[in-house]
């Protein structure tokens, strides 16, 4: 099988120097790519800017902005059997990108933000016979409800719920939620181990 995997953060530029982003390390996505490869499948890794070496044997497509991630994933998904979306996508971008470097003027700067493309939802619209697993990073008491809402809105076959403590960490604790809202599996430990457990679950429950 040929599996599309997204990993790492995206960046949205204010000017040619400054950008909005997040602290995603990409470790979870890269670990999943390793698990997919170890199982004898093809890993198509679409990665935002991270300080990691791609797993040997993976097909790597580096991206930086959400628009780039969106375009590359839409193109590559056509030839894949399924997708696992772990990328920490910027939900907003500055409406305008200023050329060069903005200089201080002594007054405050108002920044207008607009929503970026919804990569996962667009993959869900075109998935057809393929399967789709998303990640939901939630922090409040309604985490499970929010994750289920994301699953339904983005037409995923399962959603992986994790917490902000996963950001930048080598460990993770996840719950897998199915379309009826049940937690069907949970794993914790090193991200490499969690990735193998997650892939084993996917290969049994979703791969046809």
Please confirm, yes or no, whether 22 is among the known catalytic residues. yes
Q: How many CB atoms neighbour CB 166 within 10 A?
A: 22
Report the alpha-carbon distance of residue 63 to residue 110 in Å, rounded.
28
Q: Two tokens at 47?
A: 């990665």
Please, are residues 11 and 90 in contact by the beta-carbon 8 Å criterion? yes
| Pairing verdict, β 19-20 and 12-13 | antiparallel
Report the alpha-carbon distance of residue 193 to residue 105 in Å, rounded.
50
Report the alpha-carbon distance of residue 150 to residue 165 in Å, rounded.
20
Catalytic residue among 22, 146, 178, 200: 22
Tokens 């057809």 -> residue: 128
Catalytic positions are 22
């Amino acid at each position: 099988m040929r599996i599309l995997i997204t990993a790492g953060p995206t960046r949205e530029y204010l000017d040619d120097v400054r950008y909005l982003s997040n602290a995603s390390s990409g470790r979870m996505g890269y670990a999943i790519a390793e698990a997919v490869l170890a199982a004898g499948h093809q890993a198509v890794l679409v990665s935002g800017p991270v300080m990691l070496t791609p797993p040997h044997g993976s097909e790597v497509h580096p991206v930086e902005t959400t628009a780039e991630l969106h375009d590359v994933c839409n193109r590559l998904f056509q030839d894949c059997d399924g997708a696992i979306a772990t990328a920490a996508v910027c939900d907003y971008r500055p409406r305008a990108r200023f050329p060069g470097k903005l200089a201080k003027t002594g007054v405050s700067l108002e920044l207008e933000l607009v929503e970026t493309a919804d990569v996962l939802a667009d993959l869900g619209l075109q998935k057809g016979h393929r399967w789709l697993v998303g990640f939901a990073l939630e922090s409040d008491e309604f985490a499970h409800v929010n994750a289920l809402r994301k699953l339904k809105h983005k037409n995923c076959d399962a959603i992986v719920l994790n917490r902000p403590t996963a950001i930048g960490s080598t460990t993770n604790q996840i719950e897998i939620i199915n379309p009826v809202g049940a937690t069907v599996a949970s794993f914790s430990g090193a991200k490499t181990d969690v990735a193998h457990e997650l892939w084993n679950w996917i290969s049994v429950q979703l791969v046809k």
